[in-house]
């Protein structure tokens, strides 16, 4: 298991010197640290990532992000209280963070009396306080704390906050970060939020070579392919967790250090993102807060965050995300009243009043009961089909039909605005609808519309209307005409893309791209990956097959021999004919439809 040890404290508190002493070798940190420095700390049975965080006010948000990853926090208290932020703010950040262990070092002074008062009623009440000169004692205290850290969630459902993006020439784009949960696997697909983009992980490697094991707590580099560079930036989340998504108004369960004001301006630190927003505490449950960031961010349920007051700077508290699609509750809004004898009717009333759909968590909160208490009621609603659940977001059938029509209408608007773009991000469609469905709900709605043959999808969360054909530019049209002419020279045995490129003396990549565009424009048909036919080719083949087959049944081998081709071409062609309705399949035989 990888353990994250974060070293925090004000400027000139001795953080970098302590890190060098722990590592037993000099580091490259400068006098004024502006970024977090990550160091492997692997020895004996210890495997950790040591983070040296900046303490200067201008760069403190990097330290806050590191605190959200930290298992063992080391807070350095310097000889002066004149620094801003002071040691008190760093201690409060650690109290608000998920860190489970704390070690405090003091430099050139006794431990402040208020430190014990600050820690007295917290999980760190018995944390060691050690003079910074006593390095071996500090090392032993940190190692003892590391052994107390509980195992992190394992498995292949993983996520990571991106803190760096770089380009690897001719190989892809590299994103770096610390694995927050699970284990990424090279060759698998990963989702990137906000944006709902998708990419393939070409490789996964540790940023250092001291240890080869990779798991939660390890700092890694992911090489991504199949995504554009402009879609990647620090602050995004990458992972494979279904509940991960984008939000502009979410809900969190908080542990307050200071009582917040209603609609107060706050700074939100979540993952490696640091944005401003407004805070709406709940009057009914003081632990629940609704948070509206000024820009769309990525998040997932259970992800830790820290909130700070903007003016004056103050750590309000920390907590975890509970719901990605909160709805604004007015401060003096009447409490939802319902008959305890008829919970089913109460749920149906909530669903009928909300056109955007309601998540299970929100229904339970409005009714003031737990999800377990309503489990049988939800099961009855689902089995009787009085409501539909898409990943925990509930709709009545008539509301879902209206929402589906709005989705299709907004998608059609995007096609009109951008006629040369084949697939549109589903998140943009949601924005036009003014909806904030989570990733699981959106994915299931897309799957339902695909099953109904209303839309087609490509990758994660990219959609287009069935039958939509893109418009080509003049140059694209000219190039496609040349490709069509080359394809028409062949009958059944369609040439490889590389063969077309060689015949036209063009780059293979350019031919591959124009063939895809030709398929999106409705002028080519891709019957299998990399195998394209023109519409004229397919019509000629259909006429030959219809004349040969007549009304009799035939199998794939017979048609293969008649057309003098191979299974590589005949099987995809027959599957295309079945799908288009030209042939009717009955187990291993087919007939031409009349």
How confident is the model over 178-228, as pLDDT tens digits? 898 888 888 888 999 988 888 888 888 876 554 456 677 888 889 998 888
pLDDT score recorded for residue 66: 92
DSSP state at residue 49: E
Asked if 277 and 289 count as a contact pair (C-beta separation under 8 A), the reply is no
Asked if 145 and 72 count as a contact pair (C-beta separation under 8 A), the reply is yes
DSSP state at residue 435: -
Cα–Cα distance measured from residue 428 to residue 452, given in angstroms and rounded to the nearest whole number: 21
Query: For 93, left (φ over 0), alpha (ψ -120 to 50), or beta?
Result: alpha
Q: Which residues of the chain have pLDDT under 70?
A: 1, 27-33, 81-83, 108-110, 207-214, 327-336, 460
9, 79, 187, 333 from 212: Cα distances, Å: 31, 40, 18, 55
Query: For 575, left (φ over 0), alpha (ψ -120 to 50), or beta?
Result: alpha
Q: Which residues contact 153 (CB under 8 A, 6 or more apart)?
A: 181, 182, 216
245-323: CATH superfamily: Translation factors (2.40.30.10)
Distance of CA 20 to the CA centre of its chain: 35
Task: Please report which helix (H) or strand (E) contains residue 210, including its range.
Answer: none
pLDDT score recorded for residue 12: 79
The ranges assigned to domains in the chain are 3-148, 159-239, 245-323, 343-395, 398-465, 480-592
pLDDT score recorded for residue 208: 53
Q: Which residues contact 140 (CB under 8 A, 6 or more apart)?
A: none
Q: For the domain 343-395, what is the CATH code?
A: 1.10.10
E strand spans, 434-507: 455-457, 462-465
pTM for this predicted structure? 0.65
The per-residue b/e assignment along 67-106, b for 16 or more CB within 10 angstroms, e otherwise, is bbbbbbbbbbbbeeeebebbbbbbbbbbbbbbbebbbbbb
CATH architecture of 480-592: Orthogonal Bundle (1.10)
> 61 — phi, psi (to 5°)?
-60, -25
Cα–Cα distance measured from residue 112 to residue 101, given in angstroms and rounded to the nearest whole number: 20
Residue whose C-alpha is closest to residue 272's, from 250, 304, 247: 304
pLDDT score recorded for residue 438: 79
pLDDT digits (tens, 9 = 90+) for 227-267: 888 889 999 999 988 888 888 888 899 999 888 888 888 99
Strand partners, 292: 278
Asked if 3-148 and 245-323 have one fold, the answer is no
Asked if 434 and 427 count as a contact pair (C-beta separation under 8 A), the reply is no
Q: Which residue has the tokens 């892809």?
A: 172
Cα dihedral across residues 214, 218, 224, 227: positive or negative: positive
Residue whose C-alpha is closest to residue 395's, from 381, 414, 407, 374: 381
Cα–Cα distance measured from residue 210 to residue 521, given in angstroms and rounded to the nearest whole number: 52
pLDDT score recorded for residue 287: 87
Strand partners, 251: 290, 323
Q: DSSP secondary structure string, 183-223?
A: ---TTSEEEEETTTEEEEEEEEEESSSS-----TT-EEEEE
Residue whose C-alpha is closest to residue 577's, from 592, 588, 587, 567: 592
Q: State yes or no: cis peptide before 42, omega within 30 of 0.
A: no
Q: For the domain 159-239, what is the CATH code?
A: 2.40.30.10
Topology at the third CATH level for domain 3-148: Rossmann fold (3.40.50)
Which 3 state secondary structure label does DSSP give 3?
strand
pLDDT score recorded for residue 211: 42
Percent of the chain with pLDDT over 70: 94
The per-residue b/e assignment along 444-459, b for 16 or more CB within 10 angstroms, e otherwise, is bbbeebeeeebbbbeb
Task: For the chain, give the number of residues.
Answer: 594
């Amino acid at each position: 298991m990888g353990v994250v040890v974060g070293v925090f404290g004000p400027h000139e508190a001795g953080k970098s010197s302590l890190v060098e002493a722990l590592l037993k070798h000099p580091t490259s940190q400068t006098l004024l640290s502006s970024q977090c420095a990550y160091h492997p700390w692997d020895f004996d049975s210890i495997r950790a990532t040591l983070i040296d965080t900046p303490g200067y006010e201008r760069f403190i948000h990097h330290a806050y992000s590191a605190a959200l990853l930290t298992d063992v926090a080391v807070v350095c208290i310097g000889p002066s209280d004149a620094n801003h932020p002071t040691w008190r703010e760093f201690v409060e950040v650690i109290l608000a963070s998920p860190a489970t262990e704390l070690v405090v070092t003091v430099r050139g002074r006794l431990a402040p009396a208020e430190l014990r008062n600050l820690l007295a009623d917290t999980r760190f009440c018995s944390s060691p306080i050690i003079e910074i000169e006593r390095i071996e004692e500090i090392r032993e205290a940190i190692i003892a704390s590391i052994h107390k850290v509980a195992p992190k969630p394992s498995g292949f459902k993983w996520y990571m906050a991106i803190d760096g993006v770089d380009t690897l020439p001719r190989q892809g784009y590299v994103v770096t970060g610390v694995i927050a949960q699970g284990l990424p696997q090279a060759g698998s697909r990963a989702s990137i939020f906000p944006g709902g983009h998708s990419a393939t992980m070409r490789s996964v490697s540790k940023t250092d070579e001291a240890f080869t094991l990779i798991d939660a707590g390890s700092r890694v580099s992911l090489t991504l392919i199949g995504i554009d560079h402009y879609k990647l930036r620090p602050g995004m989340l990458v992972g494979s967790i279904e509940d991960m998504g984008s939000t502009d108004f979410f809900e969190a369960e908080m542990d307050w250090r200071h009582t917040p004001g209603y609609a107060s301006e706050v700074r939100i630190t979540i993952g490696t993102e640091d944005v401003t927003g407004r805070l709406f505490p709940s009057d009914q449950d003081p632990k629940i807060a609704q948070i509206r960031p000024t820009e769309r961010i990525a998040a997932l349920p259970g992800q830790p965050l820290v909130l700070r007051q903007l003016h004056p700077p103050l750590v309000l508290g920390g907590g975890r995300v509970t719901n990605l699609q909160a709805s604004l509750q007015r401060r003096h809004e009447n409490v939802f009243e319902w008959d305890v004898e008829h919970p089913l009717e109460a749920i149906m009333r909530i669903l009928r009043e909300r056109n955007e759909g309601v998540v299970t968590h929100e229904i339970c909160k409005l009714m003031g009961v737990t999800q377990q208490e309503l489990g049988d009621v939800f099961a009855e609603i689902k089995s009787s089909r009085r409501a539909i659940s898409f990943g925990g977001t509930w709709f009545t059938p008539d509301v879902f039909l209206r929402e589906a029509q709005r989705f299709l209408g907004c998608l059609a608007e995007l096609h009109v605005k951008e006629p040369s773009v084949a697939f549109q991000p589903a998140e943009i469609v949601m924005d036009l609808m003014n909806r904030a469905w989570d990733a699981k709900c959106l994915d299931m709605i897309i799957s339902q519309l695909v099953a109904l043959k209303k839309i087609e999808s490509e990758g994660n969360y990219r959609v287009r209307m069935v039958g939509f054909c893109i418009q080509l530019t003049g140059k694209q049209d000219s190039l496609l005409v040349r490709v069509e002419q080359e394809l028409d020279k062949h009958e059944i045995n369609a040439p490889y893309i590389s063969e077309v490129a060689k015949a036209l003396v063009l780059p293979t990549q350019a031919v591959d791209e124009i063939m895809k565009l030709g398929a999106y424009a409705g002028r080519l048909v891709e019957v299998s990956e990399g195998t394209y036919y023109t519409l004229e080719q397919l019509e000629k083949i259909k006429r030959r097959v219809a004349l040969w087959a007549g009304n009799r049944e035939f199998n794939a081998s017979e048609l293969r021999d008649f057309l003098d081709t191979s299974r590589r071409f005949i099987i995809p062609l027959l599957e295309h004919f079945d799908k288009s309705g030209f042939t009717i399949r009955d187990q291993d035989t087919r007939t031409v439809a009349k």
